[in-house]
């Protein structure tokens, strides 16, 4: 047995671009904030890994760039489970991605298997720029990750129709690359602060492309789409759906890359550039959907106003699973979601065209909550006119109540009561479901 801890500094040798080191500091803060500890990873080569334990797998198949593979399989792994590949950021590692995201906890809830690739080159950045990486079967990191997927599918009789990938920064770039190289493998991807497929391409062996990082590589949708199609010439099958996330103040991989990703993947999907739906699921977020209006649109894009490169936050993993269809509302076998560490009671007092609502949130978990966002959907015809104890946005539809300065900390067992007034057109009921920082709450 050996203990593997996430790196917090780049090792000696070739160092990543200085801008990406700023990301590391932010992500280290995130790891500290969520209070997770480094896992113990034992190496295995045959058979399923120990349940509910991050485990390194060796000898998993063709691996031209010497990646390491870590796997998390929950105790309640389903028959023919879905497979989620979670790809780390520059200077990160598979165990760091395990620590800093909630995908393992979500796997415990829904029964899928998580694969965490881990770079061994000195920069700890994935190869998203070489000619080898940007074509199917060309070598380098995508081939190794494809081998990890194949191993997992063989070992767990995985559902080949439900293989997904998500990543942060360098991992987001690799998400774009994998969807281009292996459209017949992945059903969908979710990229947090990435760039389009092929944007980082270089021909001199460099891992860094300043023009792309600076948001200066601009193409037409058709040109971007052609880069993806050329990665697997002759492929005519269905293409993976794509979800992209980006902060407007990203100074590492600048915000224009967000729009270029949208252009690329809408073209690949053959859908229009005009959103089929636009909403704001959280204050400061703008979500656009292309080709359809539901949770599984061909392309979904989430822009976060005023947010920098460290765009990923707790609760976003649950939204990724909704887009993938891996949550309780998704297709295929899977356990019912378990109650989150929160309970909500809600009641309304109504008159002819108006109502007053009282909502009490209780922290039923064992850890203190520092900062909360309570999500709920108002019944049709209701519009909030004012509120207290929280900020409310938007005023109708899917609403997020954000804590006030004085009530953002909830110790275990503690409660906070908030409320609002609203107009209604006949339905004066309280919301039927609530989420706390993206996790479902029980009603009671």
Region of 407 please: left (phi>0), alpha (psi -120 to 50) or beta.
alpha
Q: Yes or no: say if 309 and 258 are a contact pair by the CB < 8 Å rule.
A: no
Q: Yes or no: say if 399 and 378 are a contact pair by the CB < 8 Å rule.
A: yes
**How many Cα atoms are found within 13 Å in the side-chain-facing hemisphere of 354?**
7
Token pair for 399 = 């609403």
Q: Yes or no: say if 377 and 395 are a contact pair by the CB < 8 Å rule.
A: no
3-state secondary structure of 114: strand
Of 140, 169, 280, 428, which residue is the catalytic one?
169
* CA distance readout (Å), 2 to 40, 41, 260, 272, 336: 6, 6, 42, 51, 34
Location of structure tokens 């070739």: 14
Q: Yes or no: say if 418 and 389 are a contact pair by the CB < 8 Å rule.
A: yes
User: Which helix or strand (DSSP H or E) is residue 246 part of?
Assistant: strand 241-247
Token pair for 360 = 């009490």
Torsion sign over Cα 320, 325, 328, 334: negative
How many Cβ atoms sit within 10 Å of the Cβ of residue 66? 10
- Rounded to whole angstroms, the Cα distance separating 393 from 370 reads 20
Q: Yes or no: say if 130 and 209 are a contact pair by the CB < 8 Å rule.
A: no
Q: Yes or no: say if 191 and 179 are a contact pair by the CB < 8 Å rule.
A: no
- Provide the b/e sequence for 379-400 (b: ≥16 CB within 10 Å): beebebeebebbebebbeeebb
Our answer to whether residue 169 is catalytic in this structure is yes
DSSP type of residue 318: H
Name the burial class of residue 46, with classes exposed (0-12), middle (13-18) and buried (19+) by CB atoms within 10 angstroms of its CB: exposed
Residues annotated as catalytic are 169
């Amino acid at each position: 047995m050996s203990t593997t801890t996430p790196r917090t500094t780049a090792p000696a040798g070739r160092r990543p671009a200085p801008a990406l080191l700023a990301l590391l500091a932010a992500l280290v803060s995130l790891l500290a904030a969520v209070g997770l500890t480094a896992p113990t990873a034992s190496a295995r080569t045959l058979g399923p890994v120990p349940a509910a334990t991050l485990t390194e797998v060796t000898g998993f198949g063709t691996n031209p760039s010497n990646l390491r593979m870590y796997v998390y399989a929950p105790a309640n792994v389903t028959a023919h489970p879905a497979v989620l590949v979670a790809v780390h950021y520059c200077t990160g590692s598979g165990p760091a991605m395990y620590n800093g995201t909630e995908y393992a906890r979500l796997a415990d809830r829904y029964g899928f298997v998580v694969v965490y690739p881990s770079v061994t080159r000195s920069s700890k950045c994935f190869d998203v720029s070489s000619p080898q990486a940007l074509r199917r079967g060309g070598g380098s990191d995508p081939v190794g990750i494809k081998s990890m997927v194949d191993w997992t599918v063989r070992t767990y009789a995985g559902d080949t129709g439900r293989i997904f990938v998500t990543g942060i920064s360098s991992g987001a770039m690799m998400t774009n690359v994998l969807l281009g190289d292996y459209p017949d493998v992945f059903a969908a991807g979710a990229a947090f602060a990435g760039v389009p497929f092929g944007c980082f391409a270089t021909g001199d062996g460099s891992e860094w492309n300043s023009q792309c990082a600076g948001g200066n590589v601009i193409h037409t949708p058709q040109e971007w789409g052609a880069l993806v199609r050329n990665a697997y010439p002759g492929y005519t099958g269905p293409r993976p759906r794509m979800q992209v996330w980006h902060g407007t103040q990203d100074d590492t991989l600048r915000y224009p890359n967000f729009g270029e990703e949208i252009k690329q993947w809408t073209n690949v999907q053959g859908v229009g550039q005009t959103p089929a739906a636009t909403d704001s699921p959280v204050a400061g977020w703008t979500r656009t959907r292309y080709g359809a209006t539901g949770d599984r649109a061909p392309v979904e894009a989430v822009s976060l106003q005023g947010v920098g490169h460290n765009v990923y936050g707790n609760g976003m993993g649950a939204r990724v699973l909704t887009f993938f269809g891996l949550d309780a509302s998704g297709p295929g076998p899977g356990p019912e979601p378990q109650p989150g560490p929160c309970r909500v009671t809600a009641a309304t007092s109504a008159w002819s065209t108006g109502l007053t609502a009282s909502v009490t949130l209780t922290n039923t978990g064992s850890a203190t909550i520092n900062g909360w966002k309570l999500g709920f959907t108002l019944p049709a015809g209701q519009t909030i006119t004012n509120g207290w104890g929280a900020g409310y946005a938007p005023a109708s539809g899917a609403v997020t109540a954000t804590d006030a300065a004085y009530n953002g900390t909830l110790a275990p067992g503690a409660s906070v009561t908030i409320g609002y007034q609203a107009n209604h057109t006949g339905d004066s009921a309280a919301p039927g479901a609530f989420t706390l920082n993206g996790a479902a709450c029980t009603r009671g």
